[in-house]
Structure 1
Amino acid sequence: MRNLRPVENWRTVLARAWSVRFTAAAGLIFVIQPVVDALVDGAYGLEAWVNLLLRGLQGLLTFAAIWARVVAQKGLSDADQ
């Protein structure tokens, strides 16, 4: 852990890596979920479906981020060297 430091091209990784994009999208869903819940609160049967959809999307994006982290991406070949 003490040797934990950013890669040399960290700006490129933040801008182009799909793992970063998927993680950001999952985080965004996590943040907006309480707002959406408040907006649909009391709607007949809608709240449970919206909740299920948002949690499902969040889970898919999280697993996609893990997958994207281990797959080679164009323009990032030396990102972890």
Structure 2
Amino acid sequence: MARKRRRFSSEHKERVARMVVDDGLEVSVVCRDQDLGETAVRRWVDQLNVLDLWDLWDTHFPLTCGKPVGRLAQGHPL
């Protein structure tokens, strides 16, 4: 019998991903302990890494007064 699709809050996904990223636990261990699939947890870890990179970027290269600068100011795409 197939398992019913489950939904998780953003907070839960981040908590699980931080177990891997911050605590250094193996994905397989987290999946077993939390009864989750490896594909989902790996996706959440990837998404967390992208968000952490954006936070790092904003810290070092903030936008001036919230206005685009450089190429963005000229209407060029990223």
- What is the TM-score of this pair, normalised by structure 1? 0.36
More helix by share: 1
- What is the TM-score of this pair, normalised by structure 2? 0.38
